[in-house]
Amino acid sequence: MEDKLKSSFISFTILGEPASKANSRRWTGKFFIKSEKALNYGKAFKLQCPVLDPLLEGDLRVTMHIWYASRRPDLDESLILDLMQDCIYANDRQVKERHVYWHLDKEKPRSEILVEML
């Protein structure tokens, strides 16, 4: 998908394999911290993600096609939804409908994302 912006939707691609939010925290003995994979993915995501001005408002539908480099990762879009905050929308609570699909591409892991206003 090419990066496209219309008044009611945006589509874009983020290169790299997302970390699972459920598996992205580790206990230090005092508190939880994000794993190195989650931190690195977050940095890469922010460098690639478009920043809308103004942000999309109201209720939203998100469709994601996530290509993983191996069969091991669980399908988990929650980190991506968090990372889109303050770039695409103000808060991921705006997402009222999700369609998320798991794919395998060992050569080019990525996430193709479509965010639409309902």
Residue 30 domain boundaries:
4-117
pLDDT tens, 36-48? 888 899 999 999 9
DSSP 66: E
Residue 56: CATH number of its domain = 3.30.1330.70
End-to-end CA distance of the chain: 20
The total of structural domains in the chain comes to 1
pLDDT tens, 75-84? 999 999 999 9
Instruction: Enter the pTM of the model.
Output: 0.85
CA dihedral (85, 87, 89, 92) in degrees, to 10, reads: -20
